[in-house]
Amino acid sequence: MGLPLGTVVNAVFKNRKWLYVQTPHGNEGYVRYAACLPLGIIPAEAESGGDPTPCWEKCTDVYPKPSGNMTDTEKLSSKSDCESRGWCRNRSRDVASACGEKSVDRLYLRAAAISKSRGVRQTLLVITTDFEGSGGNEIRVKKGDVVFLLDANIRGWFYVRTKEGSEGYIPTETAGHGFL
């Protein structure tokens, strides 16, 4: 996945030399691990005589590894070993990595659930002919205006909101019957 320099992303998990990330716009994909830095961390000068290791990996890895085949529901409903006993038990990885992975999974899933519930989908209509409202609940629109469709329950009429915030009815033919 190609991203412009400086794009802030959420790292979902690390898979070898790749990070699976999500952009603020909801795009997801893999990016090279070496191309990313956690927010607020400035890389140190590379040490001589060895492979440069990212500065945030000196003690533990901040990016979790994939957690296997658990569903999102299982991840949210399961209590991590960290919460229940104050310590983690994991055969394949160290304590900090296992605790961190479960915490990051839980935080990511909660954030994703909140963003989905707050998202509002609205249908946009492009006005194809001018319309002068004659009063009442009708509004004035001009050719080329873009309006939000709020309701289409009355045959032959759309209830819309303009970008200025005024709401009212327009004939469906004013917006090409809703088709572009």
Look at the chain and report how many structural domains it folds into. 3
| Whole-number Å distance between alpha carbons of 93 and 142 | 63
Beta strands in 10-165 (DSSP E): 10-15, 18-22, 28-32, 123-126, 146-151, 157-161
- CATH number (domain holding residue 133): 2.30.30.40
Q: What is the pLDDT of residues 79-113, one digit of tens each?
A: 544 444 444 444 444 444 555 566 677 777 777 66
Domain end among 91, 119, 147: 119
- Its domain, for residue 86, covers 64-119
Report the predicted TM-score, pTM, of the whole model to 2 decimal places. 0.36
Quote helix, strand, coil % in the chain, to nearest 5.
Answer: 25, 20, 50
Domain co-membership, 15 together with 55: yes
**Please, which residues bridge with residue 148 across strands?**
124, 161
| Domain C-terminal end among 39, 60, 81 | 60
Give yes or no: residues 83 and 47 share one domain. no
Tens-digit pLDDT profile for residues 105-157:
777 777 766 655 555 667 888 899 999 988 789 999 999 898 989 988 889 99
Q: In this structure, are 76 and 51 located in the same domain? A: no
Q: Are residues 145 and 107 in the same domain?
A: no
- End of a domain among 17, 43, 60? 60
Q: In what order do the strands lie in the sheet with 146-151?
A: 123-126, 146-151, 157-161, 167-171
Nearest of 138, 130, 101 to residue 11 by alpha carbon: 101
Using an 8 Å Cβ cutoff, are 98 and 66 in contact?
A: no
Report pLDDT digits (tens) over 8-43.
Answer: 888 888 888 888 888 877 788 888 888 887 775 555
Closest residue by Cα to residue 52 from 33, 39, 32, 34: 34
- Do 53 and 43 meet the contact criterion of CB atoms below 8 Å apart? no
The radius of gyration of the chain's CA atoms, rounded to the nearest angstrom, is: 26
Regarding whether 55 and 1 lie in a shared domain, the answer is yes
